[in-house]
Structure 1
Amino acid sequence: MDNPLLKPFDQAPFSQIKIEHFQPAFEAALGQAREEINAIVENPQPASFENTIAALDFAGLHLDRISSIFFNLNSAETNPEIQALAQEISPKLTAFANDITLNSDLFERVNTVYSEREQLGLNPEEQTLLERKFQHFRRNGALLGPEDKNKLREIDAQLATLKLQFGERVLEETNRYNLNITEEERLEGIPESARETAADLAQSLGMEGWVFTLHYPSYLPVMKYAEDRELRREIAQAFGRKGFQGDSLDNQQTVLDIARLRFERAKLLGYATHADFVLEQRMATSPKAVRDFLDELLERSLPAARRELEELTNFAKKRDNLESLQSWDRAFYSEKLRQEKFALDDEILKPYFELERVLQGVFDIAGTLFDLEFREDDTLETYHEEVRAFHVVSATGGLPVALFYADFHPRPGKRGGAWMTSYKPQYKKQKERPHISIVCNFSRPTKKAPALLTFNEVTTLFHEFGHALHGMLANTDYPGLSGTSVFWDFVELPSQLMENWCYQPEALARFARHYETGEVLPTTMVERIRESANFQEGMANVRQLSFGYLDMAWHGIDPSGIAAVKAHESEAFAGTRLFPEQPDTCMSTSFSHIFQGGYASGYYSYKWAEVLDADAFAYFEETGIFNRETADKLREHILSKGGTEDPMILYKRFRGREPKIEALLKRAGLLEAAS
C-alpha cells in the first residue's frame, strides 16, 4: 500500500491520506521513535546536554506530526472509523509516553546532566529545556518503584480512553439533537438569517419547516431572539442535558472515573491533589493561589452582578410581566436590554462583519503590527473543501514565516467551539517554520447572503488568531519550547490580547464595512460597541469564575467521596449562582475543556490571562494601538519566545514591570463597583 504518511513530507498530504493509512503509519512512527530513544540510552558517550536533552527533544518528531494530523481530524472532521481508531491508538501513544518517562536508564542520563547543570554554561533556553525535561520525568513517575510504575501505566491508559469517550459522547449528543419547528409563529423574533439556515437544514434532512440544533450558530439565535419562551426553554434544557440523560451517552460515571483516576495519579506521584500536580508548573503555583485569585475577583464582581441581575429582572417584569427569571431567559432579555440601552443589535451589526472582510482585517492588523503578509494558495492541500490555506511571509522581505490554515463553519464531524492547533512545530535547526491552523464554528453563508458574523464571532476570530500568531511567530531552538508550549495560564495572553483591537475605531475602520453597500460601520455604532463592552460585565465575570470554581471542585480535592455528579456541581456553583438551579441539567457532563481538553485545574487561566491582556493592551493604549515599537517588544519578548523562559520574566521584559489587576478591573468597570 502506497502510504503518504510513511514518506517524508513537509506540508500534511491531506488529499492523499486514507483512514487505513493511519494504523501502519503510527506503528512505523512509534518504531522510529523507539529507535531514537534507544539510541540516546545506548550512546556510549557520557551523558551531555546535546546527546541526551537536545536529542530527546528532537526524538519522535515524525510521530508528533502524524498525531497532530490524526487528532485534529478527530476533532474537526471525524467519523465512526476515526473515533474507533482513536480509541485503539490513544492507549498505545500513552504507553509509549510511559515507556519514555519510566525508562530508568534514560532517566539516569537526564539526571546526570541535570546534576551537572551549574557547570555546563547553558544559555537560558537550554537551561529551561533541561529543567523541563528533568521535571517531566520526575512528575511522571521516573522515581517510582516497579509496582507503582505499573499502576501509573494502568491509570494513564484508562484516562486516555475515558477522555476520548467523554468527547465522543458530547459530540454525538450535539449531533443527534434536531428541534423541528413547523409553526412559523413560534419563530417570532428569530432573525431571518437564522431562519433561513434552519429552513435549509430542514430541507436537507427531508423535514418540513425549520430545524434548530445545539451547534452554537443555530442554538444562540434561538436563545437571544426567540419570543417563544417555551422554545427557549426546550432547546436550553436539551443543551444542558448533554451527557446527563441516563442513556448510552451518559457521562456521569465517566466524569467520576476521570476525576478519581487523576487524583489517584497525583497521590501516586506524591501530590495532595491533581490540582497540586498541575499547578506546580503554572504561574499560579498552587490551588490556594487559584482560589485566592478567584475569590478576589468574585468579591469585586458579585455586587455588580447582583445589581445587573436586579436591573434585568425589573426589565423583564416591565416588558413581559415576568415574575421569575430563569437561565433560559438571560440571553433573551439581556439582548433586549442591551438594544434599549445602547441601540445596538447583533442583527444590525452583522452586515458590517462579512467573514471575508473580517479575515482580511485581522490579516491587515497583523501586517501592520508584525510585518506579515498572507497569500492564499488553493493548491495547498486541506482536509476539507471549506478549509483555506495561506503562505505567511514577511511583508518587507517576502521571507517564509509559516503556513496558516483556517476552517470556519460547523459540520456534523466537527466538535463545537474554536481552537488553534499546529501541524508542524517551529525550530531553528534546518530553519523549520510552523504550520498552524485555527478551527471555528461560525455562521454559514446562506442562499441570500455571505457568511456574516456576530460581534462575538468577530472577537472569537481575533482570539484564535492571537493563538495562531503565538505559533506562527515562534523563533526558538527547540520544538519542545516553541510557540504555545508555555505555562497553561500564560497561553491565553496573546489570544485575549488580540480581542482588544475589535473595540478600537482605528481597527474597525479597516474591515467593518456593509457587505452590500461597502459603507463603513457608522461612528455611532462604533461608540455603542465600545460603550456596551462592559454591559453586564459583573454577571459575565461571575459566570466565568463559576467555571473556575467547578474545575477546582473536581480537581482540587479527593473526589473519592463524591456520590453524585449533579450534587457536587451544585455545591461548587452555590457561591456564584445568579439564576434558579435546573435539576435536569448538568454542566460537568459536557465540560469538554476540563474532561477532554487540557484545562483540568487550569480553567481559571482565562481570567488570569485577562489580567495580563488588560495590562498589556493598556501599554498599547499608552503608546498607540498600532505602535510598531510596542508590537516589536511583544513579538521579541513574548510571541517569539514560546516557553524558553519563565513567563513572568518574559512579561516583565515586554512591559517593564509585573502586571497589575487594576488594569482588568478598570477595563471591566469594576473598580467603581467595588468601591
Structure 2
Amino acid sequence: MKHPLALALTAALSTLALGACTAPTKPDAGSRAATASSASEATNPLFAPSPLPLQYPPFDKVKDSDFAPAFDRGMAEQLKEVEAIANDPAAPTFDNTIVAMERSGQLLDRATTLFYSLVGADTNDARKKIQADYAAKMSAHQDAIQLDPKLFARIQSLYEQRSSLGLDAEGVRLVERYHDDFVRAGAKLSDADKGRLKEINGELATLATKFSQNVLAEVNDSAIVVDTREELDGLSDEAVAAAAEAAKTRKLDGKYVLALQNTTGQPPEAFLTNRALRQRLHEASIVRGSRGNAYDNTAIVSQIMKLRVERAKMLGYPTYAAYSLANQTAKTPEAVNSMLGKLAPPAVANARREAAELQAVIDSEQKAKGQPSFKLEPWDWAFYSEKVRQKKYAFDESQIKPYLEMKNVLENGVFYAAGQLYGLKFKQRTDLPVYQPDVLTYDVFNEDGSQLAIFIADMYARPSKRGGAWMNAYVQQNTLFGTLPVVANHLNIPKPSAGKPTLLTWDETRTMFHEFGHALHGMFSNVKYPYFAGTSVPRDFVEFPSQVNEMWADWPSVLANYAKDYRSGAPMPKELLDKVMAAAQFNEGFRTTEYLGAAMLDQNWHQIGSADAVPAAGGVMAFEAAALKKDGVDYAPVPPRYRTPYFSHIMGGYAAGYYAYIWSEVLDANTVQWIQQNGGLTRANGDRFRQTLLSRGGSKDALQLFRDFTGHDPQIEPLLERRGLTAAPAQKSKATKKPGKNRKK
C-alpha cells in the first residue's frame, strides 16, 4: 500500500497515468434507493482488502459504480483518523503521529490505486466521468490533511527532536520526509494563503484531468484513415492487417486506419513509401491539442502554468522549476540547465551530420528517377534513416523481428535474465482475474522458493489505454502491514490480427527490459514503512534502475536464450546480431536532439518567473517555438519528442522533470560500466544491486544508494561516450556502446 500522503503524488501523476477520480453519486430519494444504496455498500469489494493472494485486485468483482462510494467512505475514514491524531491529548510521539499517519487511509489508498491504474490501462466513459468529478475533491482532501495546523504542529515537534527520539535511520528519514512534504504543501502559510492555495490545487487537479482526457481523445480522433492498400506500400502484411482491423472496429470496412502513438514521430513513417501519406501522418501528430477543436489544450496549458507560478511564489520559490527540483537529486534549475546545455550543441551537430547523409540519399534517388530533389522534412527522417541504416549495416528491422516474438522475449529473455542475476523463478497463473483478456499474470519466487510478488503483464495497445510504457504497483511491500508486491508493466505494442504472432522491434524489446527494471525495483522493496516502498524515490532517480536493466537485452547469454526464430526455433545469426550492435549509435543525434527539445521546453515553461509572463492560449505555440530557438534545439527536421499540447509528462508528475531520463542515464551509464568491469551477469552483482539499492526504496538518500553500489560519485563521461557526444575515444566498452535510452518515453 502507498502511504497516505502518496495521494498527493497520485493526484500529481493523474495526467501521466490518466488516473483521477469521480464525484459521489447522489442518493435518490425514497426507501428503495436507500435500500439499494445499503445493499451496494454491503457488497462493495473495495471496502475490505482483497481476499485473493497477496491482496491481488479482484478485477472481476469491482464495478465502476463501486468507486465513488469507496472514495467517499475512504476520505471520511481518513479524515476521522487524521483528526484523532491531530487532537490526541498525549504528547506527540513517532508512533502516535508519524506511524499513525502511515496507517491511515487504507481504504482510500486501496480504491484510488485500483482506479487510477484502470483509468490508465483501460478507461471508459464512466471512469472518465469519475476521474473528472473527483479530481478537485481528492485535491481538497489532501489539503485538509496537509494544511491542518494541529497536525503540522505535532510533526514539527517531532522533526525538531528527531535526533533524540531513539529512532533508526529509516525512522529519522520518515520524520524528515513528512515534515518536508507538509512544508512544501503549504503548512507554514497564513490562513489566507492556505485558502488561496486550496483553490489553486483544486483548479490544477481539474485542469490536469481535462488535459489528460483531451490527449487520449485527440489521439483517437486524429487517426489517419487510408482508402487503399496501395497507399500503405512499405508496411508489412501484419501491419496492414492490423490497420484493416482498426478500420473495422471503427465501422470503416474496406479502409485502413493508422492509429497515432503519443510521441511526435509515428512508427509507420519509417516504412511508408508514400511521401504524401507520411506527411499526413506527421502533420496530424504535431497539431494535436492545438487545432482549435474540442480537445484543444492550449488554454489549459496557459492556465496550468499561471497557477503553478502563483503556487511556487506563494511557497517561497522564484519559479515552479525551483520548487519542483528542490527535493530531487538535481536540486536546482541551474544544475539541470547546465547539463542540458552541455548536451544540446553536440547533439544538434550530430543530427545535422545525420541529416546531410539523408539528404544525399534523397538527392541520389531523385536524380536516378530523373526527378527534382526535395528538402528533407521531419516526415522523411525515419524513412531515409532506415535506408541509410540498411546501406551502412546491411540489415533492416524486418530481419530482426522474426527472432523477437513477444511472449518468448518476456519469458526467455526478461525473466531469464532476472533468474540468472537474482535467482528469480516465474510461473504463469490463469486462475486470477484480469481486466482485459490479453493480460498475463505470473507468480514470482525467490531462489529459496518463497514468494516475492505477483507480476502483471499488459502489453498491447488499445484505444482505452494511454500511450507509452509504464509500471505501477497495485500492492506495495512494507513490513508495517506485512504486504508483498503486486506490480504491473504496461506497453503499447500493436496487436496483430488473429492468429498472427506478435513480433517486436528492437526498441520494443529494450522497452520490455526497461519496464521490468521498474518492476524489479517494486518487487525487491524491503522497507518497513509504506512511504518508502518500491519506486518511491526522487523522480530523477526512478528511471535509473530500469535503464540499467536494459543492458541485459543484448547480453550474449541472454540474447541466445530468447532471440530465436518463432517459426523454426533457429537462433539469431551472429552476423545479424553484430550488425544490430554495430548500429547502436546510429541516429543518436536525432534521438538525443528530439529528447533534449522536449526536456528543455519543459524547463522553459517551468522557469517562467511571473504569471503575467505566461502566454495566453493563442501564444502557447509561439512560446514553444521561441524557447526551442533560444536553446539551440530548433532544428526543423527534428521536432521535439513531445509538443506542449500533448506533453502529458509535464502536465502530470514530470512537471519540470522531463530531464530526469537523461539525468538518470548518467547514473545508469556509470553502473553498467561498473557491472561490466566486475563480471557482468553474475549472482554476486545481482545480489549487490538488490541489497544496496533495489531493496531500499526511498529509505535512504538516492545518490548515497548509487555511491553504495558503485563506490564513487556520478561521472558524466560514460554517458557522453554512449551517446556519441564526445570525440571518438580510443576504445569504448560495451557499456558505452549501448544506444540512447530516451526512446521509450
TM-score range, shorter chain: over 0.9
Query: Is residue 134 of structure 2 the alignment partner of residue 78 of structure 1?
Result: no
Query: Is residue 576 of structure 2 the alignment partner of residue 525 of structure 1?
Result: yes
Higher mean alpha-carbon deviation, 142-151 vs 173-182, is at 173-182
2:740 — aligned with what?
A: none
Q: What CA distance in whole angstroms lies between the structure 1 residues aligned with 2:149 and 2:600?
A: 38
Displacement of 1:557 in angstroms is 1.4
Q: What CA distance in whole angstroms lies between the structure 2 residues aligned with 1:28 and 1:582?
A: 47
Matched positions, count? 672
1:617 counterpart (666, 672, 691): 672
Q: Which 5+ residue runs of structure 2 have no aligned equivalent?
A: 1-39, 368-372, 731-745
Displacement of 1:441 in angstroms is 0.6
Structure 2 SS opposite 1:521:
coil
1:641 — aligned with what?
A: 696
Displacement of 1:526 in angstroms is 1.1
2:56 — aligned with what?
A: 11
1:592 — aligned with what?
A: 648
Contact kept in structure 2, 1:358 and 1:458, CA below 8 Å: yes
Shift in alpha-carbon separation, 1:342–1:582, aligned structure 2, 3 A: closer
Displacement of 1:41 in angstroms is 1.4
State the one-letter code of the partner of 1:230. Answer: A
2:547 — aligned with what?
A: 496
Contact kept in structure 2, 1:180 and 1:212, CA below 8 Å: yes
State the one-letter code of the partner of 2:489. Answer: I
Structure 1 SS opposite 2:328:
coil
Displacement of 1:238 in angstroms is 0.6
State the one-letter code of the partner of 2:435. Answer: Y
**1:632-675 deviation digits (Å, cap 9, x = unpaired):** 11111111001111111111010011121111112223222599
Query: Is residue 556 of structure 2 the alignment partner of residue 511 of structure 1?
Result: no
1:196 counterpart (241, 261, 278): 241
Query: Is residue 498 of structure 2 the alignment partner of residue 457 of structure 1?
Result: no
2:324 — aligned with what?
A: 278
Displacement of 1:217 in angstroms is 11
2:7 — aligned with what?
A: none
1:383 — aligned with what?
A: 435
Contact kept in structure 2, 1:472 and 1:483, CA below 8 Å: yes
Q: What CA distance in whole angstroms lies between the structure 2 residues aligned with 1:133 and 1:333?
A: 53
Higher mean alpha-carbon deviation, 400-409 vs 147-156, is at 400-409
Q: What CA distance in whole angstroms lies between the structure 2 residues aligned with 1:122 and 1:306?
A: 57
Shift in alpha-carbon separation, 1:318–1:505, aligned structure 2, 3 A: farther
1:185 counterpart (230, 254, 272): 230
Q: What CA distance in whole angstroms lies between the structure 1 residues aligned with 2:147 and 2:157?
A: 16
Q: What CA distance in whole angstroms lies between the structure 2 residues aligned with 1:334 and 1:644?
A: 45
Q: What CA distance in whole angstroms lies between the structure 2 residues aligned with 1:184 and 1:363?
A: 39
Higher mean alpha-carbon deviation, 645-654 vs 310-319, is at 310-319
TM-score normalised per structure 2: 0.88
1:135 counterpart (162, 174, 180): 180
Q: What CA distance in whole angstroms lies between the structure 2 residues aligned with 1:106 and 1:218?
A: 46
Q: What CA distance in whole angstroms lies between the structure 2 residues aligned with 1:647 and 1:336?
A: 43
State the one-letter code of the partner of 2:410. Answer: L
**1:493-551 deviation digits (Å, cap 9, x = unpaired):** 01111112223222211111111010111111111111111112122112211111100
Displacement of 1:94 in angstroms is 0.8
Q: RMSD between aligned alpha carbons?
A: 1.9
Shift in alpha-carbon separation, 1:573–1:673, aligned structure 2, 3 A: farther
1:262 — aligned with what?
A: 308
State the one-letter code of the partner of 1:5. Answer: L
Q: What CA distance in whole angstroms lies between the structure 1 residues aligned with 2:565 and 2:729?
A: 40
Contact kept in structure 1, 2:264 and 2:642, CA below 8 Å: no
Contact kept in structure 1, 2:518 and 2:545, CA below 8 Å: yes
**1:142-161 counterparts in 2 under 5 A?**
142-161=187-206
**1:295-306 counterparts in 2 under 5 A?**
295-306=341-352
Shift in alpha-carbon separation, 1:628–1:589, aligned structure 2, 3 A: same
Q: What CA distance in whole angstroms lies between the structure 2 residues aligned with 1:586 and 1:359?
A: 28
Displacement of 1:381 in angstroms is 1.8
Shift in alpha-carbon separation, 1:413–1:219, aligned structure 2, 3 A: farther
Q: What CA distance in whole angstroms lies between the structure 2 residues aligned with 1:580 and 1:339?
A: 21
Q: What CA distance in whole angstroms lies between the structure 1 residues aligned with 2:418 and 2:350?
A: 35
Q: What CA distance in whole angstroms lies between the structure 1 residues aligned with 2:339 and 2:125?
A: 42
Q: Which 5+ residue runs of structure 1 have no aligned equivalent?
A: none
Q: What CA distance in whole angstroms lies between the structure 2 residues aligned with 1:281 and 1:218?
A: 30
Q: What CA distance in whole angstroms lies between the structure 1 residues aligned with 2:47 and 2:568?
A: 51
Query: Is residue 339 of structure 2 the alignment partner of residue 293 of structure 1?
Result: yes
Which consecutive aligned stretches of 4+ in structure 1 deviate over 4 angstroms post-superposition?
216-219, 580-583
**1:371-429 deviation digits (Å, cap 9, x = unpaired):** 211211111122111111111111x2211111111111111211111111111111012
Query: Is residue 636 of structure 2 the alignment partner of residue 579 of structure 1?
Result: yes
1:318 — aligned with what?
A: 364
Q: What CA distance in whole angstroms lies between the structure 1 residues aligned with 2:179 and 2:155?
A: 6
Q: What CA distance in whole angstroms lies between the structure 2 residues aligned with 1:195 and 1:475?
A: 47
2:394 — aligned with what?
A: 343
Q: What CA distance in whole angstroms lies between the structure 1 residues aligned with 2:622 and 2:267?
A: 31
Higher mean alpha-carbon deviation, 507-516 vs 35-44, is at 35-44
Identity over the aligned pairs, expressed in percent? 38
Q: What CA distance in whole angstroms lies between the structure 2 residues aligned with 1:580 and 1:335?
A: 15
Displacement of 1:580 in angstroms is 5.3
**1:199-226 deviation digits (Å, cap 9, x = unpaired):** 2222342421322111479984421100
